[in-house]
Structure formats: structure tokens, C-alpha cells
Amino acid sequence: MSAIGELEPLVRDNIRMAASLLLVRDRPGGPEVFMVKRPGGVDFPDLHVFPGGKLDPADHQPSLLDGVTETDADLALGVRGGSRYWVAAIRECFEECGVLLASRDEALIRLGAETERDRFNRYRQALIDRSLDIATLCTQEGLRLAGDRVRYFSHWITPEQAPRRFDTRFFIAAMPEEQDTLAHHWETAGEEWVRPADALTAHRSGRLLMIAPTLVTLESLAACHSVVSIMAAVAAEAHLPPLTPALREQGMHTLR
């Protein structure tokens, strides 16, 4: 962990800090997870992944988070300024799939009315364009970010042989009611809700292209029969496979 008062740099030795968020929901056939397809011309094109992206300096907003203090975040991740990862995961989820984990007057926002959806779609585009930051959005709408609904899931660093490297913290949250997913046409090339076991089958058949962090994540979800059981396993840190040399070579790291 960095010295007191210092934040972890967002880029170190050509490795960029990033955050990703898994949205999960219950369905009669078992839990589903939301996945997007990366567009061409970006890092890791055509892969099926979970919403996420790079941390931004403006993501350091610990006062906006409910349920996660800066101390909590630092201890959970083993870094200084860990709350940035929670904020980035929530922001990236909103940018990429239109789901905003935030509350107003202690209730999670619903984005039900058409006028409200239109207004938040404009906010979403402004965040993507970087003409707006998450703190300004929260101030203008009287929002708090629902850190208490977002659990830390796993830690991956892109292997050394990759041309672009990321130090990514994965998080997980239940899909909020009264909101809908809508993948952004710039940020993604497709979207789908899928049972983890079905996604793994689609990968084996060649329909979905995925890499180790996504595959291991799906495997860890596939044995669970409900969102509640997923969240319980994550809270107990019992959801991940043992960290073997082979998994470490693929980029998996300890949680902290």
C-alpha cells in the first residue's frame, strides 16, 4: 500500500488501472449475467466481457459512496484510494449499459419515466464524452452512489506478453428493478443476458470469444442457483478457485 496521503497511480509501468462490474439477475432457469461484446478498433476487440473500463482521476469521490468508506475500500483491495474502483465500476456500468447504481432520498433510482430516461441518457453521453464527471451528475440530480450494492469480486492483471495491460478489479451487483440494460452503440458491439453455464458452452462452440478472466468468472458463477447464493459466496470470499500457478500466469491475483 502507498504511503499515507498518496494515491495509487492510475498508470504504472504501462499498466492501466481499470474496473469491471458484473450485473446478475434471477431467472426461472437460474441466474443470468449481463455481457457485452467489444467493438472492433478498441482494446481486446470482439471479446465478450462484462461492462468496465479505465479509472479516471475524477473517480476519486469517496464522499459520494454509500456503504463503502475510503478505509473499507483500501483494506478490501490493499491499495490507497480504493474507493475510486467502486466509483469507476458504477460509472462504467452506466456508460456501457445504461444501468446506474445510485440512490435519491435513500431509494435506488428507477429511471422509469420517459422524460427521466431521456435526461439520464444525455448525462450518459456527456460522461462518455468526458464533458461531465460523475460528481457533477450526482450534485445536479441529488444522487448518492450505491456502493453498498456493489461487492468486490476478483483481481486480474493482463499478462506481460499482452500489447496493452490493465490491472482490473472486478465487482458484482444485482440488477436493479425498474431499470433496463441498453448497451451503448459506441462502447459496445452487442449485448446479452446469459446463464453462466450457457456462456461457457457458447465459448466452447466458438460462438462467444472470451479470455481467462471472463471464463474463470463465469465458472465461479455457474455453480450458484440464485443471486442470493452468489452474493453470499462473494461475501465469504468463497467464490473463486484456488490461485494456481497456471491461473497466475493467465493474470489472476489475490484479492489484496
pLDDT at residue 100 in the model: 97
- Residue 187 pLDDT more than 80? no
> What's the CA gap between 186 and 62, in Å, rounded?
29
pLDDT at residue 183 in the model: 77
- Residue 221 pLDDT more than 70? yes
Mean of pLDDT values over 206-226: 96
- Model confidence at 2, pLDDT cuts 50, 70, 90, reads very low
Backbone angles phi, psi at 104, to 5 degrees: -135, 130
Residue with the bigger pLDDT between 183 and 242: it is 242
* Domains of the chain, residue spans: 11-253
- Model confidence at 205, pLDDT cuts 50, 70, 90, reads very high
Q: The cell 447504481 sits on which residue?
A: 101
> What's the CA gap between 47 and 143, in Å, rounded?
33
CATH 1.10.260.40 fits 11-253, yes or no: no
> What's the CA gap between 147 and 214, in Å, rounded?
23
pLDDT at residue 45 in the model: 72
Residue 211, C-alpha cell as written in the block:
479470455
Within 10 angstroms of residue 204's Cβ, the number of other Cβ atoms is: 10
pLDDT at residue 167 in the model: 97
- Residue 5 pLDDT more than 70? no
Mean of pLDDT values over 128-151: 97
Q: Report H helices in the chain.
A: 70-77, 83-97, 114-129, 134-141, 196-205, 212-222, 227-235, 245-250
